[in-house]
Structures are given as C-alpha cells and as structure tokens.
Structure 1
Amino acid sequence: MATYKKRGYKPKNKVEEVEVTEENSTTAEVFNTLDEGASKTEEWVAANQKYILGGVAVIAVVILGYLAFQKFIQAPKEQEAANEMFRAQQYFENAVNGNSAVRDSLYTLALNGGDGKYGFLEIIENYGGTKAANLANYYAGFSYLNTNKYQQAIDYLDDFKSDDEMLGPLALGGIGDAFSQLGQVDEALGYYEKASKAKVNDFTTPKFLLKAAIIAISLKKSDIAVTYLERIKNEFPKSVEANQVDVHLGQANAMQ
C-alpha cells in the first residue's frame, strides 16, 4: 500500500530513496500521458474543426427548423382542423342523442360534411398528422359502426391512437363490436380483452369484461367467462354490469 509522504520528505535509507524515485517517476509518467492525450485531442479538434462546426450548425438548423414548423405551420394547422371539425362533431352528437328516424342521415353528414363544412373523412384527408384528424378517426369509426358498416368501422377505429382513459378502451371495444357483428367472434373476444386491459377504470373495464365473458360463453370457453365474471363481481360490484353477472355466471358454470 502506498504511504503518503509530506512535501520535503527525505528518505531515511537507500530503499526509501528508490521508492520515492519510483513514485515520482510513476507520477511523472501519468501526467505525461495525460498531457499527450490532451495534445492529441487538441490536434484532432483543430484538424476536424470545420466538420465539428458544420455538425453543430446542422443540429442547430434542425432544432430551429422543428421549432419554426411547430409554431408557424403545425399549430395553425391544428387550430384550423379543430375549427373545421366542430360542425361534424355536432352532427355526431345529434345522431347519438336524436331519434332513430334521422340518425343514419346525421351520421352520414358527420362523415361527409354539410352546410359547407368538412366531415370527419375530409378532416382526416386534409389535416393528416393533427390531433383533430386522429380524433376524427374515432368519430368516423363509430359513425360507421352505428350505420352497420362494420369493416369501415374497424379500419378507422384501428387508425385512432390514444392514451386517453376512456377513448382508448372505447375504440378497442368498438372494434370488438364490429368483429362481433361480422360473426368473427374470436377476433371480437381478443379486442374486448384488450379494451378491458387498456385502462382500468370503473366504466370501461367492467363493460368490456362482461362483453368478453358473453363471447367466451358463446365459444364454450367457460373458464375464461367465469374468470371475467368473477372479476366484475369482486372488483366492480357497483357497476351496471355487476347486475348481470349472476345470470351469465350461471350459464358459464353449467357448461363446466
């Protein structure tokens, strides 16, 4: 182990003199190595200064370009898309809350536009990459689902991407509904399961657990159905779906 020696220390004998000399030599070598490394770095920087400055300039241009794009192009485009979609959203809400006699025509107006305003399909086409266009996929998907155009519903809902607590699971569940209507029950089960797991909450989770359980019963997968129904009963006892659990649970248990 090396021993610390004070400045001005004088060796007591030849052995210590050799040790001190070796220590001084080692220290000198370390500093020389560091000096050589620093010199080589400085030489490399000097030799490549043009390329380094060029790289920094490119990065600066990219960053400034991105900021300018966001401020002067993307932000106005987002605002314009949101303004354009307002009327289509009104048609959609009126269709959801209106009477069945005019429902289909309102969904059609929501999709294709009216009164000189864009519908969801035109928003998607003309404002791609905006939040409004993404949300328009959601509305378009459910507009198609509610007018019995199931493949189109699947296509648009699949294009919708969201981490929202409600909208994300509802979109996945909507795809499940479309597959169910098409008679593709295995696919429907898969999407109901995805919807129940996407965001755990007291509304969408029991809703899609129940749908998954009902589909599982139709596929004679009673063990899966029982698991989902028991979960509703235990974790979401105050949900609307909890009132239906016992009936379906009886069916699932009878199959075992």
Structure 2
Amino acid sequence: MATYNKRGYKPAKEKEEKLDNNFIEDVNVDEKDSATAKAFDTLDQTASRTEDFVAKNQKYILGGLAIIALVTIGYLLYQRFIAEPSQEEATDELFVAQQNYQKAVDASVPKSQDSLFNLVIKGSDGKLGVIGIADQYSGTDAANLANYYAGVSYLNLKKYDDAIKYLEKFSSKDAVIGSEAIGLIGDAYSQKNDAKKALEFYVKAARNTTNELTTPVFLMKAGKTALSLGNKADALTYFTEIKEKYEATPEAQTIDGLIGMAQ
C-alpha cells in the first residue's frame, strides 16, 4: 500500500529540534535582557552616587571652579596691565644703556671705555643703568638682557665677582650669545686665577651649542687652560676636536703646534 507525505508535513523529530531551538533562543534573549537590565541598574546606581557626591560637595566644587576662574582672570589681567607695560618701560629705559654699551665696545681709548661702561651700569640722561633695570623690572626680557650688559661691563672694569654674578643671572636660547655668556664667566674666573673653574665654564660654553663661531673659541680656551693645569690628555681632546671638526676656523690654523704640546 502506497503512502504519501502530505504537503507541509515535517517529521516529529524536526519539530522537536525546532522547539528546542526556539527555547534556547528564548533563553538567550532572556539572558540578554537580564544583562541589559543589570547594566542599566549599574548606571543608575553610579549616577545616583555621583549626584549624591555633587550634592554633598557642591560648595567645594563651586569654590574650586571659582578659584580656577580667578587665577585665570588674574593672570590675564597681570599680563595686560602689569607685565606688558613693564616690558615696554624696561625696553625704553634700556635703550640709552645699549647706546653707551656700543660706544664703549667701539671706543679705542681704555679710559673712555671705562667711563662708558660705568654709564652703562649706573645710567645717564635721566635713564636707569642696567643694574637698576635688572632690579626694577625683574622678570622681563629687558631685565634679562640688562644682566648680560652688566656682566660684560663689570668684566671690562675688572670687577670679576660682579661680572660672574650678573652673567650667571642671564639666560638665552640664542646659540651664540648664550654660549658667549657662559664663556665670559670662564674668562672672569681665569682673571681671578681660578683655572679649574675657568676650565669648567669653557667646556660648558663649548658644549652649550655646536657652531663654528663659539665652539672652537671655547674649545681652544679649554685646551689651553687644561694644558696650564698639566692635564695634557684633556687638552689633546679639545685641540683634536678643533682640528677634525672646525678646520676652516681661525683656531684651527695654529692647532697643530698645540696638539704637539699636548702629546
């Protein structure tokens, strides 16, 4: 006897598998819904704790924000009404001192130089000297530059301790003038017959930046100072560096003789 499958008929086993799958899917959905609910509960709890914290510490939070705002406003007001006008005043005061400094550098008569360097330090024509500018306008660029002029002026006037004092206050990112100021401190110590300190600053000046203007100059001074201290090995190092790296500079023209002395 022949049997026929009715259209749409599925075996009982297949129906059972479908029911099982539906059950698993329902369980997974329930689990996802449960995890989502837990996540929202956690967020609600966190938000609630945050609100409680803000409520309890509102005065402190607002106070902290107020302090930050006051500091910011204070800084802007300081820059606008104190720092900028001070810089302008200091620059104006420094102009006459700069003119006297240039005249002193260009002068060929020592007595005239000394007189002009004193004007640089003390002031003239109703304007402050560099010492007054450095003190009165401390923190400005003009005051920083005034320290440099003061140091060089005192060095030329043979007041070496004062020269060191003001040159050490000066700072510059400029490759040449920054290294030069350090090297001038070495010159001041050299004039004080303190060769060890002089050597320290000559080396520091040479290593401050690498350029053909200042580096070979202070390597040369470092080498000669090391040689005077009997430290031939270091002197040879400095002299050899000039020969190998700065052969086109004036210092390299006589370096072979110095290398021979250091060997």
Same fold per TM (> 0.5)? Answer: yes
CA distances 1:35-67 after superposition (whole Å, capped 9, x unpaired): 211221122223323322222121111111111
Which one of 203, 207, 210 corresponds to residue 193 of structure 1? 203
Larger Rg: 2
Unaligned runs of 5+ in 1: 1-9
Which one of 139, 142, 152 corresponds to residue 129 of structure 1? 139
> 1:245 is matched with which residue?
255
Task: Supply the distance in 2 between the matched residues of 1:97 and 1:247 (Cα, whole angstroms).
Answer: 33
1:43-62 pair list within 5 angstroms:
43-62=52-71
1:10-49 pair list within 5 angstroms:
12=21, 20-49=29-58
For normalisation by structure 2, the TM-score amounts to: 0.87
Q: Secondary structure at the match of 1:214?
A: helix
> 1:140 is matched with which residue?
150
1:26-105 pair list within 5 angstroms:
26-99=35-108, 100-105=110-115
Which one of 110, 128, 137 corresponds to residue 118 of structure 1? 128
Report deviation, 1:22: 4.0
Q: Secondary structure at the match of 1:141?
A: helix
Mean alpha-carbon deviation: is it higher for 106-115 or for 30-39? 30-39
Q: Secondary structure at the match of 1:162?
A: coil
Task: Supply the distance in 1 between the matched residues of 2:61 and 2:138 (Cα, whole angstroms).
Answer: 37
CA distances 1:79-101 after superposition (whole Å, capped 9, x unpaired): 11011011111111111110123
Q: Secondary structure at the match of 2:70?
A: helix
Change (3 A) 1:224 1:37: same
Task: Supply the distance in 1 between the matched residues of 2:146 and 2:84 (Cα, whole angstroms).
Answer: 17
RMSD: 1.8
CA distances 1:104-150 after superposition (whole Å, capped 9, x unpaired): 11111111112222111111122112111111111100101111111
Mean alpha-carbon deviation: is it higher for 21-30 or for 157-166? 21-30
Task: Supply the distance in 2 between the matched residues of 1:244 and 1:141 (Cα, whole angstroms).
Answer: 30
CA contact under 8 A between 1:95 and 1:104: conserved in structure 2?
Answer: yes
Percent identical residues: 48
The aligned length equals 244
Task: Supply the distance in 2 between the matched residues of 1:209 and 1:28 (Cα, whole angstroms).
Answer: 75
CA distances 1:152-178 after superposition (whole Å, capped 9, x unpaired): 111110111222212211111010001
Task: Supply the distance in 2 between the matched residues of 1:20 and 1:222 (Cα, whole angstroms).
Answer: 86
Which one of 215, 223, 226 corresponds to residue 233 of structure 2? 223
Matching of residue 154 in structure 1 with residue 157 in structure 2: no
Which one of 180, 183, 198 corresponds to residue 170 of structure 1? 180
Q: Secondary structure at the match of 1:166?
A: helix
Report deviation, 1:211: 0.7
Task: Supply the distance in 2 between the matched residues of 1:249 and 1:93 (Cα, whole angstroms).
Answer: 37
CA distances 1:223-247 after superposition (whole Å, capped 9, x unpaired): 1111111111121111121112112
Task: Supply the distance in 2 between the matched residues of 1:48 and 1:140 (Cα, whole angstroms).
Answer: 54
Task: Supply the distance in 1 between the matched residues of 2:55 and 2:20 (Cα, whole angstroms).
Answer: 45
Unaligned runs of 5+ in 2: 1-18
Q: Secondary structure at the match of 1:220?
A: coil
Mean alpha-carbon deviation: is it higher for 26-35 or for 167-176? 26-35
Q: Secondary structure at the match of 2:174?
A: coil
For normalisation by structure 1, the TM-score amounts to: 0.89
